Structure formats: structure tokens, C-alpha cells
Amino acid sequence: MTGYPPPPGFAARANVGPEVYAQAEADPFAFWAEQAGRLQWDTPWDTVFDDAEMPTARWFGGGRLNVAVNCVDRHVTAGRGDDVALHWVGEPGDGRTVTWAQLQDDVCRLANALTGLGIGAGDRVVLYLPVLVETVVATMACARIGAVVSLVFGGFSADALRFRVADTGAKLLIASDGQFRRGAAVAVKATADEAVAGLDHVEHVLVVRRTGEADVPWTPGRDLWWHELLAAHPPVHEPASFDAEHPLFIVYTSGTTGRPKGLVHTTGGYLTQASWTHWALFDAKDDDVYWCQADLAWVTAHTYVLYGPTSNGTTQVLYEGSPLTPHPGRHFEVIAGLGVTVYYTAPTLVRTFMKHGPELPAGYDLSSLRLLGSVGEAINPEAWRWLHEHVGGARCPIVDTWWQSETGAAVIAPLPGVTVLEPGSATVPLPGLAAAVVDDAGEQTPPGVEGNLVLTRPWPAMARTVWGDHARFVASYWAPYAERGWYLAGDSASVDEAGFVWIGGRIDDVLNVSGHRLSSIELESALVSHPRVAEAAVVGAPDDVTGQRIVAFVITRDDAGADDSRLAEELRAHVALRVGAIAKPREVVVVTDLPKTRSGKIMRRLMADMTAGRGGGDTTSLTDPGSMTTVERAWDAHAALRDRT
Ligand code: PRX
């Protein structure tokens, strides 16, 4: 293979060398036990792995630890209290540098305050916050007292937030007065209020002052200001120990039905894999300035901002804003200004930068960078090479990390000091992990032939269940290969002659738009809740920048013509209200029929192929094969109109 070997200087200093693969393979459980030993345990485990209740695994049974102690206190105790934990950069240009000791102070104050509010181990706390220091503090304070945290993306609507608050049965919502969105302050407390209205289990709403909104709507007795509460509590707090299987957080993600799934991650196994993979993949060193640019509410940032890097005592950048605000070079300005050494980004962002040309990164001194990462979707080789050359100065390895909300941490990814990189491939499973590409019968596909990606061995950070719906957890991931005990990832993939994995697309009705996972069915439910829509089908069409773009085919209740652009605007606004702005369909096509099977299932695949220019799919299973002709005509007319304007 040609490929990109690790630069010799990098390999020589790398945290992890090639021998780790064989070591881990010889005894994966011993390998994970060794990595768990990197953490501080209050009580050692007695069983590394217990499969008695599979697919709910138990890792490090009998062990007890406190995540906040591991991620914060440990570094202060080790004499690093004055080192920088976080370089926070606010969107309007304000900033804050927070040391480990300062972080510990605030985490302890909030832990005391939460206990004072009656929140205890196992209670749920939902965060609806931008990327703030307070978001990290809140996450750690919850971990410290054993409360289960669920972070909701600040761009989600009141409806989407309400679903998550209700589903978790949260006692507390932590929100902000407002958020900055592309340079403008937007009030959000009213949205938070709407989300919790009538939900009796929500006892308090704790409000972080961020934008300084005037006239923040207030419910006396229920609502509390963050700054007042913290000031009223001492910065010293005695942490308790929690069982290795105590739930740590719930992360919601889209599946194949309208209801997002709340994946439950637990304490010991999750932190072990988060910590080791961060250390190994990002070659974490004490003098690094590490920046993972994902919003804290996505799983990427749970593992590679909130828990992994903090467990390793890594100095991090936290950036509040949108990447292109106030100008497209903002990220490069931050890298140059703070001397960022490791930058973990997403293909969609790389492709956005590419549109501005290599002059954009060339305008900044990016010489501090030594390692780059990518996540969220397969990175196309062209974007990989651009990132490598124009951002990484041809000297930085790129770790393309494949994983999911369900896996909790990276699974298929290179080791930067070891692996010869192939642009576009996430390479091979990390040490201790095992994957395969198989057909529906479970037989391995020949090299180069696509099949279903499965994980064939349990891993410590695996999700344990879907909150409140264990049957769905089993049915979605474990039932398809139940006899073999394999986990079905939901992605297609192929393996080449060298054993490298190439991830294809999703095999289910999940879209990937700018690395965000959205469900066709959830978007269709949002669309049909609009009074003018009778039926809807949502597909992902290929897009140069966002990977996929959302195209909605709708049958209207009235006689809106195909060129009714007002309807498109109305529906976009409606979806934004029901789900969030990231879910707005880019294109709305009015049709009079939709292709359906005899059992009434919409054949989205046919429409997706059509939008990708791959027509001529098999229509024999349709009730009315002519329905696809109708849709094709509407699509052609729509495309002609779109391309003219
Ligand atoms: O389709 C894969 C894609 O993102 C899905 C997981 O989405 P989510 O749970 O939101 O987690 C995203 C960040 C970990 C996967 O099923 N995906 C993620 N990373 C990659 C990827 N596809 C190809 N290559 C990747 N590196």
C-alpha cells in the first residue's frame, strides 16, 4: 500500500507503539483491566467482564470510583492545580482561562448546591446550554454526586428539549438566559420554560447568565440563578464512590423510529475506554493544547472533551461559537492564538474551509499543530489530503475515528504513531476491539464487497441500554445477530485486502447531515404535523459540503403547486420549531404519490437513489410502480427550477 506512514519524529515520541495490538489481542480483558488501572479507583473491581446479562455488559464489577475525582481532583492532588484545564473562547471574543484548581472549586460548589436542592445519586439533570465553562462544571458536578446528566444541543427546539426532559424524568434543567448564534444574542429561557411547562418532575430550573438578556421570564421558587447559587455554597465537597455500572449520562440519538433513543452509558468501563482512547489516539501529552470542536451536547464531545481529555489532565480549548463567526478563519485564528497542538474536527467543516481555498489557513501560523482528527462521517480522500496539506502542513497524522453514540468511544481508528494512513479509511479496530463486515447470514464478505459492519467482541464503553426501553436496545442492535452475540452498527462497510475498513452509508433510515444524525421518520413526523401536509418522505441526497442534505417529498392536503416556495418556507420553519434548525429540509418537493410497498412502507431508498442520480432501481415490490414515475417527474421539474434560480 502507498499511504502515509507516521512521521519518524512523531512515532518515536508516541504514547503507543505497535506492540499494543498483539498484547491486547492475546488477552483483551487483561488489556482493558490494565487500562482501567490508569484511573483512580476507591474500591478495586473483582470481575473485569461479566456477560451474564448480555447484551447489557457489566465491566469492572465490584469496582467503585468517582468520575469527577478522576477528571478534576486527581490533577490538583498531583500538583497541577495551577495548570490550565480550559481555554474558553466565547463567540463575541470574550474568553476565560480556567485552572484545574478553579474547576475543582466550581464543581464542588455546584455539587453542594445540587445536593441542597435535593438531587442525589441516580436523579436526572438535563443541560440545555451552549459551550461554556459552566457546561463542563455542571457535567462534573453531576458525576460527583452520581446524578445522571443528559446534554441537549442548544439549537434544539422547545419540543425536542421537552421530549428529552420528559423521557429522562429530570428533576432539574440547567439552561442559560440566552445563547449566541452566529454573532447574535438569542433569548432561550422562554424556550426552556416552554419545554418544562406542566412537567411536575422538574423541580428547578437553574439559569446561567450568558447573554445578559433583559427581562428573563422567571418563575419564583422554581428558577434559580447559577451565580447566586454557586456563591452561596462552599468550594469543598466530599465525593462519594459509585459502582462501576452506575449510570453516568444519557445521550439521545436518532434511530429508525420517530422517538430518539436515550443511550445509557455507565461509569467504570466508559471512563476506561474514553480515557485510554483519548490518550492513545490523540497522543495526549501534558504540554498539549487539545481542541475538539464538537458541541458539548454531541457524543463526540462527551468522550473527547468532557470525560476523556479531562481524565488525562489535558489542557483543552472550548469554543462557544459557530465555526465561521465572525469570519471563516476563526478556527485558524484560535489555533494560532492559543498554540493548539491537536485539532479534532469534522469532514463537513473541512469541506467548508476548502470552499474558501488554501489561502484561508495559509493566513495563519498553524505550526503548533502536530496531530489532526476527523469524526462524524467518512472523510472523502480529497478533503483528507486538503486537511493534511493545508492545515497540517503535511507533517500531522490524521486520525479518522469511526464510532457512534452507542459505542461510547472510538472503535475503528488508526494509532497516530503506528498506522500507515489511507485517506478515506478509518483503518482498523483499535487494540482490544474487533469488528467484521458480514452479510445478512453473518458470513464475512470478500475483500472490497460491502456488507453490514458488526462488532464481534464486547467493549468497555458500550451502551448498556436505551433509557426506559430495553426491548428497543435489544431489537435495534443485538437481535439481528443474536446467535453470534454481535452488535449491528447500522453502517455498511467493506474491508480491503489489507484489512482496512472503509465505511459506506447507513443501512437504515438515518441521515447524516454535517455529521449530525437525523432520522427520516422523525423528520417525516414533524412534517405531517403541519396542517397542510398529508404524507411525507424524507431522504438524504448527496451534498458536497454537508455530506447529505435533507430532501422532503410531501403530499399536500390542498392543491399547492410544485413551485409553491411559500410552502417550502413554511415547512422549513415548522421543522425548525418541532425539531431544530439543523433538521430543516434543504429542499421540499410537492408530489401527488409516494412509492410504497404492499405493506405500506415508503421506499425511501428509491427516492434517495434518484436524488443521487442513480435511477432505475427495482420497483417490482411497489404497490403501484407508476408512483415512482410520478415522483421522478416532480423531482425533475423541481431540480430544473432549483438550478435556474
Ligand atoms: O454512520 C457513522 C457515522 O456517524 C454514525 C454515528 O453517529 P453518532 O452516534 O451521532 O456519533 C457521531 C460521532 C461519533 C456512524 O454510525 N460516522 C461517525 N464517524 C465516522 C462515521 N462514518 C465514517 N467514518 C467515521 N469516522
Query: What is the value of pTM for the model shown?
Result: 0.96
pLDDT digits (tens, 9 = 90+) for 395-423: 999 999 999 999 999 999 999 999 999 99
Beta pairing partners, 398: 372
Q: 517 CB under 6 A from ligand 1?
A: yes
Q: From ligand 1's centre to the CA of 241, what distance in Å?
A: 33
Q: 503 CB under 6 A from ligand 1?
A: yes
3-state secondary structure of 216: coil
Among 405, 506, 517, 582, say which to mutate for ligand 1: greatest number of ligand atoms within 8 Å of CB: 517
Q: 319 CB under 6 A from ligand 1?
A: no
pLDDT confidence of 560, banded at 50, 70, 90?
Answer: low
Considering only CA atoms, which residue is closest to atom 22 of ligand 1?
377
pLDDT at 222 exceeding the cut of 90: yes
Residue 214 burial (C-beta neighbours within 10 Å; 0-12, 13-18, 19+):
exposed
Q: 490 CB under 6 A from ligand 1?
A: yes
Q: From ligand 1's centre to the CA of 401, what distance in Å?
A: 8
Considering only CA atoms, which residue is closest to atom 4 of ligand 1?
376
The sign one gets for the Cα dihedral 277, 282, 283, 286 is: negative
**Nearest-angstrom CA–CA distance, 381 and 425:** 9
Beta strands per DSSP E along 31-102: 47-50, 58-61, 64-65, 84-89, 95-99
Which atom of ligand 1 lies at the shortest distance from residue 426's CA? 26
Query: Which residues 6+ apart lie within 8 Å of 147 measured at CB?
Result: 114, 119, 120, 121, 122, 123, 124, 125, 141
3-state secondary structure of 479: coil
**Nearest-angstrom CA–CA distance, 95 and 238:** 30
Element (H, E) at 173: strand 172-176
Instruction: Calculate what percentage of the chain has a pLDDT beyond 70.
Output: 99
CB 403 within 8 A of CB 410: yes
At 291, which amino acid appears?
A: W
Q: 402 CB under 6 A from ligand 1?
A: yes
Q: From ligand 1's centre to the CA of 424, what distance in Å?
A: 13
pLDDT confidence of 255, banded at 50, 70, 90?
Answer: confident
CB 343 within 8 A of CB 369: yes
pLDDT digits (tens, 9 = 90+) for 270-329: 999 999 999 999 999 999 999 999 999 999 999 999 999 999 999 999 999 889 999 999
Considering only CA atoms, which residue is closest to atom 15 of ligand 1?
404
What is residue 618's predicted lDDT score, i.e. its pLDDT? 83
Q: 399 CB under 6 A from ligand 1?
A: no
pLDDT digits (tens, 9 = 90+) for 348-359: 999 999 999 999
pLDDT at 602 exceeding the cut of 70: yes
Which atom of ligand 1 lies at the shortest distance from residue 400's CA? 26
CB 513 within 8 A of CB 550: yes
Q: 464 CB under 6 A from ligand 1?
A: no
pLDDT digits (tens, 9 = 90+) for 156-200: 999 999 999 999 999 999 999 999 998 899 999 999 999 999 999
pLDDT at 620 exceeding the cut of 90: no
Q: 512 CB under 6 A from ligand 1?
A: yes
Q: 546 CB under 6 A from ligand 1?
A: no
pLDDT digits (tens, 9 = 90+) for 442-497: 999 999 999 999 999 999 999 999 999 999 999 999 999 999 999 999 999 999 99
What is residue 558's predicted lDDT score, i.e. its pLDDT? 83
Which atom of ligand 1 lies at the shortest distance from residue 413's CA? 26
Cβ atoms within 10 Å, residue 642:
11
Q: What is the DSSP string of 532-584?
A: TEEEEEEEEEEETTTEEEEEEEEEESS---TT-HHHHHHHHHHHHHHTBGGG-
Nearest in space to 608 (alpha carbons), one of 584, 625, 631, 642: 631
Among 500, 503, 506, say which to mutate for ligand 1: greatest number of ligand atoms within 8 Å of CB: 503
Among 156, 251, 377, say which to mutate for ligand 1: greatest number of ligand atoms within 8 Å of CB: 377
**Nearest-angstrom CA–CA distance, 115 and 94:** 31
